[in-house]
Structure 1
Amino acid sequence: MGRAATSEGGGGGGQPPLGLGPVEVQAAAPSLRRSEVFHVVKELLGFVLYMHHQIPSVLQNLENEFAGLKEEMTEMALPSAELKPSDQRKYNRRKRQVRQRIKKQEKLMNGLSSLCSALQKALDEVPSIEGVLLIIGGSLVRPLFVYDITISHGRFDAGSANEHGISKLAQSVSRKAIRALISSGAGSLSYTGPTKLFVLVRCPFTLNLPLDFLPKRDFRYSKKVIPLHMCITCNAAGVEMDNQQITSIIDASSCSSESSISDVIWFQCKHTVRGLPCKSLEE
């Protein structure tokens, strides 16, 4: 997937006013399972990192490449048969290259792994989730870009976020969500240097989430940043929501509103992902 040649909310001249209306994604099901919510959020997380130049390739390719490098390094650690001097030099050179590439990617991949594991644990602990916030920038209060994802009918039944296999529904919703963000102008106006990705989830304040998530009461970020709102609506009653209903859902869960009058708050994941300069992995 190439980077979109469109504009992004959060700063810069000549961009469209993205904060005026929500991006709607319809899920053809009464609700999303924990594993489906996790897959959709992970796909959007990878999309945001890639489109804002924080990783050099799409997340799935990066994961496959890193796993392949780790496997190759493990094989190279085993005793090798006697080689000719010329072959030994090639072998040693390749071993150094693999070690260097692992070292460049290791902090990023460990951060992604920790964040995803924490998100899976959190989803397994909660009976419902109202939204997810993806923030790109140096700090939470002064972000560069904000993606506010609201999930209607986000009440879970049985099932774990760590289920094996990806359902067709999860694949369909994640594809729709990414296409909708691209069509809405996500990605081209971007910060070129490495920065951080923060993840927050919106849940009832009475929940005891794992220690990986910390409550952020009355959380607000700079009003200068125009968030891109997305509403994932489940077809609970067999009738599609109209724009007024979607807007009311988003208004109720807006991260800039006071949370003291609500029974839900934002919880911040303590694991952040720091991007890589894209040129650092070009070989």
Structure 2
Amino acid sequence: METTSSSGGDETQGSGLVEVQVATAALRRSEVFHIVKELLGFVLYMHHQIPSVLQNLENEFTDLKEEMTEMAIPPAELKPSDQRKYNTRKREVRCRIKKRQKLMNGISTLLSALQQALDEVSRIEGIALILGGSLVRPLFVYDITVSHGRFDSGGTKEHATTKLAQSVSRKAIRALISGGAGSLSYTGPTKLFLLVRCPCTLNLPLDFLPKRDFRYSKKVVPKHMSIKCNSSCYQTNNEHVASILDASCCNSESSPSDVIWFQCKHTIRGLPCKASLEG
């Protein structure tokens, strides 16, 4: 079940809280990773930063690399006409790989950093996906809170994708679409930034840097999502899904339970919106 609330009006469309109910007390690290990956792919695709959905893009790139590997050793004998076709196809494959290499490397590096971060922390408060030229002046902000973010001993790679993770991902994407996500977009390539909200006492991997007193332009209306696990010992309300502007930060007098945002130093640079897999 997902519900959407908004304060009304075009200028504040999507500014209300989007809630996604989860029929479990907590999510595994691998499940959180899958959900974030799906939302990240949705944000990139809906805002025209990738030419197709992320899964198709990954499959296409893998197939191209496999084809290139197979073509590294040419057949022993080919007719002149077949040799020309072979050389033309090889150039096409090499060109398509080159066009996608930087994008796919950026996606892979960022997701690997997220996996490592999730494996290192005992709990996570939330995730922020930010599109724009800089964190200070973003174009779009997606602020995702997990209502019961404590993890068990399992890692992000120890479990196959569960039906629960797939279900929550679909609900989350449908809820964002219903809330107007992607209705306004940017036609040029830009960057996607990833931040995680964790206790300030945690030592995240070097791929993540603390962002104390983080602020961005008040002109940007973030889209809030609360993934609410079915746990009586952990309750959330709208205050827990406050925007990044109001996120609490650590200082010399803060308690170990205080949380701050940590920014992944890796970003994903989108492609021009007219780019296609056939290009």
Tell me the CA shift for residue 237 of structure 1.
Answer: 2.7
Kindly tell me: are residues 165 and 184 of structure 1, through their superposed partners in 2, closer, same or farther at Cα, counting changes over 3 Å?
same
Measured in 2, the distance between the counterparts of 1:113 and 1:162 equals 15
Matching residue of 2:168: 173
Matching residue of 1:267: 262
Matching residue of 2:3: none
Render the CA deviation track for 1:177-203: whole Å, top value 9, x for unaligned: 000000000002100000000000000
Measured in 2, the distance between the counterparts of 1:16 and 1:246 equals 24
Render the CA deviation track for 1:43-94: whole Å, top value 9, x for unaligned: 0000000000000000000000000000000000023221000000000000
Q: Say whether 1:210 aligns with 2:199.
A: no
Measured in 2, the distance between the counterparts of 1:128 and 1:238 equals 15
Question: Identity rate of aligned residues, in percent?
Answer: 74
Alignment of 1:1-283 (within 5 A): 15-18=10-13, 20-237=15-232, 245-251=236-242, 254-257=243-246, 258-260=248-250, 263-281=258-276, 282-283=278-279
Tell me the CA shift for residue 121 of structure 1.
Answer: 0.2
Task: Find the residue that maps to 2:103 and give its secondary structure.
Answer: helix
Render the CA deviation track for 1:135-173: whole Å, top value 9, x for unaligned: 000000100000000001100011001234200110010
Measured in 1, the distance between the counterparts of 2:91 and 2:177 equals 39
- Root-mean-square deviation over aligned CA pairs: 1.8
Measured in 1, the distance between the counterparts of 2:233 and 2:122 equals 23
Q: 1:31 touches 1:154 (CA, 8 Å); kept in 2?
A: yes
Q: 1:32 touches 1:156 (CA, 8 Å); kept in 2?
A: yes
Measured in 1, the distance between the counterparts of 2:169 and 2:73 equals 41
Task: Find the residue that maps to 2:102 and give its secondary structure.
Answer: helix
| Structure-2-length-normalised TM-score | 0.91
Tell me the CA shift for residue 218 of structure 1.
Answer: 0.6
Measured in 1, the distance between the counterparts of 2:41 and 2:189 equals 15
Q: 2:15 touches 2:224 (CA, 8 Å); kept in 1?
A: no
Deviates more, 1:254-263 or 1:89-98: 254-263
The gaps in structure 2 that reach 5 residues or longer are 1-5
Letter in 1 for 2:245: S
- The runs of 4+ residues in structure 1 deviating greater than 6 Å are none
Kindly tell me: are residues 238 and 154 of structure 1, through their superposed partners in 2, closer, same or farther at Cα, counting changes over 3 Å?
closer
| Structure-1-length-normalised TM-score | 0.90
Render the CA deviation track for 1:237-271: whole Å, top value 9, x for unaligned: 399x7xxx4312213xx310252467100000011
Q: 2:14 touches 2:179 (CA, 8 Å); kept in 1?
A: no
Letter in 2 for 1:97: E
Q: 2:192 touches 2:268 (CA, 8 Å); kept in 1?
A: yes
Measured in 1, the distance between the counterparts of 2:13 and 2:125 equals 22
Kindly tell me: are residues 238 and 127 of structure 1, through their superposed partners in 2, closer, same or farther at Cα, counting changes over 3 Å?
closer
Q: 1:21 touches 1:247 (CA, 8 Å); kept in 2?
A: no
Aligned residues: 265
Kindly tell me: are residues 103 and 20 of structure 1, through their superposed partners in 2, closer, same or farther at Cα, counting changes over 3 Å?
closer
Tell me the CA shift for residue 21 of structure 1.
Answer: 1.9
